Chain A
Amino acid sequence: MKNFFKIIILSLIIMCGYKSAYSAEKVEYLKTHWSFKGLFGKFDRASLQRGYQVYTEVCSSCHSMKYLSYRNLAEDGGPEFSIDQAKAIAASFEVKDGPNSDGDMFTRPGKLSDKFVMPYDNVKAAQAANGGAYPPDMSVLVKARGGGVDYIYSLLQGYEEPPAGMKLDDGVYYNKYMYGNKIKMSNQLSDGLVEYGDGTTATVEQMSKDVTTFLMWAAEPHLESRHRMGFKAIIYLIILTVLVYFSMKKIWSGIETKI
């Protein structure tokens, strides 16, 4: 039995060891406390709402979020805007719809069921407007980067003067957390850039944290129910395992083999 545990634990270490071997380039990311980590991790509601504000006012002019709908903003486990707030948010966007009965396309105010309006019509248009670099869709961005939230959080604050001797082309910026240190997005955040409705001071650090939290939710909208269900499932399994263990002891008690 002891061996059994040992090998299971060993294999898990190996499995995860292989995993960490993937990410060869080790960079020390900036650290902060994420409320959504851990066994009972939940999103900070206010941070999500502020993060949405940063996304809309700053990021969304270049970055799309094609898998999100306005209804998601009012759903459980998310920013949890009220339905009316979410409706108002949706209505503040112009959505292209159609064709109508005349065969014409038309624009109308957004509805809850609409996907987030995209800044560009297509990838080519996005590239043309951004010096050839496509601003990646941010719906699952956190999961699509090795460092996850820590990486995004650090990157937003990682703009520096390039070290002496490094020549940067036009439209290329130095960022100490970017792979290869060269990034085509200029520094977007500056203190006081947005005005938070809840009175929080909009420092670069605060905005980075809020928008990263928002991106985490966007990538994992069911994270909270996953954590809740996971805890219940594991407790249930542990209790059942203990019960089965004693049943097994009882059943095997007549057999001289140790179990």
Chain B
Amino acid sequence: MSDHEYTPKSKFGKWFNDRLPLLTLASHLTDYPTPKNLNYWWTFGGILTFCLLTQIITGLVLAMHYIAHADMAFDSVEHIMRDVNYGWLIRYIHANGASMFFLAVYIHIFRSLFYGSYKSPREVIWIIGIIIYLLMMAAAFLGYVLPWGQMSFWGATVITNLFSAIPLVGEGIVTWLWGGYSVDNPTLTRFFTLHYLIPFLILGLVVLHIWALHVPGNNNPVGIDIQKPSKDTVPFHPYIVIKDGFALLMFMIVFAFFVFYTPNILGHADNYIEANPLVTPAHIVPEWYLLPFYAILRSVPDKLLGVIAMLSAILILAALPWLDTSKIRSAVFRPLYRQFYWILVADVLILGYVGAMPAEGLYLLIARVATAYYFIHFLVILPILGFKEKTLPVPLSITEPVLGGSPNLAGARIKNKKNL
């Protein structure tokens, strides 16, 4: 984005920078022009980076004490909780950190949906984001298996069994994934290996995500391009750094409350029972952040189609920049889209709720309707809306709504003050 030339002051700095322009990069990052009208929904990118690093650092410490063996995994987790210095703290941060990570990523994704951040020219940022989200789900699932409790074991069994839906080779693939004929020690050791690997893949993708962001620059609540960088933007440092820091601290207060006062509320009690292949828990449920997709999976009567529906529910997001035909980015100026947006939010929440309930009777019916609506939103409503919707007049520049008094904006302002 910023093409300005940077010359280090010191001689050594110049010598080094000519060979590896790290200082130019640092200068770019500090000066990076950021729209000055970003609201707090934009702070979740920074929060997510914090979450990732927290998971990696606590995970490293846990891995020093954890034993990936079917006979010892559960014991080693208890060893961490009891005898490792502050092991309980590290483990509770890591376990609750996963939930916090997903809480933040869902806000981040829905922010993007509201303000149309996935639209041209930011499609690549968006698609990298979807890949990160997929990897996060994989990492979370694999990590949940490691304590080798009942939910770990049976969750692993249910999820890996999904691959058996693949025609002809399905059973073979499942055996290959397990490294045997059931979820057992070989499964645990490979899950541990992959759980250790994936966060670093995510870290690499996060770098690409941010790099891709720095090419067109941030979207913003008004959803229009920057007209005059000098008027519409502020340098990343100190303006955005302090604001992100403030939001991060508030997030950390919530995080700390979970870790210190209700560390087990987001987990399932059954996972404190050591894995037992002979006893199936009454209800096998995934962690809360996977429930909407679990509901979609179960709402389809056919196993293979269910798996396809679940995967498409995520992958459809990657096609979103082309499914949404509207030229206007921000929902602030799209009165109809805004309503459909909130219906989608409600739809996903409903899916999450029925995902936690037994798949029968009314719950199943609700799950089916909600699943159908989810796909209709992306495949029917969004493409048509772009052509049919009468959008509100968009301001001429970012500065305009900030200063107020734009004739162009008067209509939109009254209704949408809070979204700007």
Contacts and interface: CB of A to CB of B under 8 A. Distances in A.
Interface residues of B, number: 58
A1 interface: yes
B234 A22 contact: no
Interface stretch (B303-311, B313-321, B349-357, B388-396): B349-357
B13 to A, nearest CB: 27
B249 A241 contact: yes
Interface in B262-315: 263-266, 268-270, 272-273, 282-283, 285, 288, 291
Nearest to A123: B276
Given A230-B259, A244-B249, A143 B358 contact: no
A19 B261 contact: no
Contacts of B285: 22
A257 B36 contact: yes
A11 B269 contact: no
A15 B78 contact: no
A3 interface: yes
A125 B37 CA distance: 69
B40 interface: yes
B242 A18 contact: no
A248 B272 contact: no
21 contacts: A1-B40, A3-B40, A4-B39, A18-B288, A21-B357, A22-B285, A22-B356, A143-B269, A229-B89, A230-B257, A233-B260, A234-B256, A237-B249, A238-B253, A244-B249, A245-B246, A247-B242, A251-B238, A251-B239, A255-B36, A257-B402
Contact of B247 (A4, A222, A247): A4
A179 B281 CA distance: 12
A1 B39 CA distance: 8
A226 B89 contact: yes
Given A226-B89, A241-B246, A21 B356 contact: yes
A15 B239 contact: no
Nearest to B36: A257
Contacts of B260: 226-227, 229-231, 233-234
Contacts of B411: none
A251 B273 contact: no
B252 A4 contact: no
B103 A144 contact: no
A170 interface: no
Nearest to B401: A257
A19 B288 contact: yes
A144 B261 contact: no
Interface of B: 36-37, 39-41, 75, 78, 81-82, 88-89, 92, 99, 103, 106-107, 234, 238-239, 242-243, 245-247, 249-254, 256-257, 259-261, 263-266, 268-270, 272-273, 282-283, 285, 288, 291, 349, 352-353, 356-358, 402-403, 418
B261 A39 contact: yes
A234 B257 contact: yes
B357 A24 contact: yes
Given A7-B107, A19-B266, A256 B239 contact: no
Interface of A: 1-4, 7-8, 11-12, 14-19, 21-22, 24, 39, 67, 72, 136, 139-140, 143-146, 148, 179, 219, 221-222, 226-227, 229-231, 233-234, 237-238, 240-241, 244-245, 247-248, 251-252, 255-257, 259
A21 B295 CA distance: 14
A67 B269 contact: no
Given A143-B272, A237-B253, A256 B402 contact: yes
A65 B415 CA distance: 62
Contacts of B103: 11, 15
Contacts of B81: 222
A146 B268 CA distance: 8
Contacts of A12: 254
Contact of B261 (A4, A139, A227, A237): A227
B402 A22 contact: no
A12 B266 CA distance: 11
A244 B256 contact: no
B269 A18 contact: no
A240 B265 CA distance: 27
Contact of B245 (A39, A179, A244): A244
B357 A140 contact: no
A259 B41 CA distance: 12
Nearest to B75: A67
B409 to A, nearest CB: 15
Contacts of A19: 265-266, 288
B352 A18 contact: yes
Given A4-B247, A15-B103, A257-B36, 9 more contacts: A144-B270, A146-B269, A226-B263, A227-B260, A231-B260, A237-B253, A237-B256, A248-B242, A251-B238
Contact of A257 (B37, B41, B78, B252): B37
A145 B265 contact: no
Contacts of A21: 353, 356-357
- Give the most central of B246, B282, B291, B418: most A CB within 10 Å: B246
A233 B418 contact: no
A144 B272 contact: yes
Given A140-B272, A144-B269, A259-B243, A67 B78 contact: yes
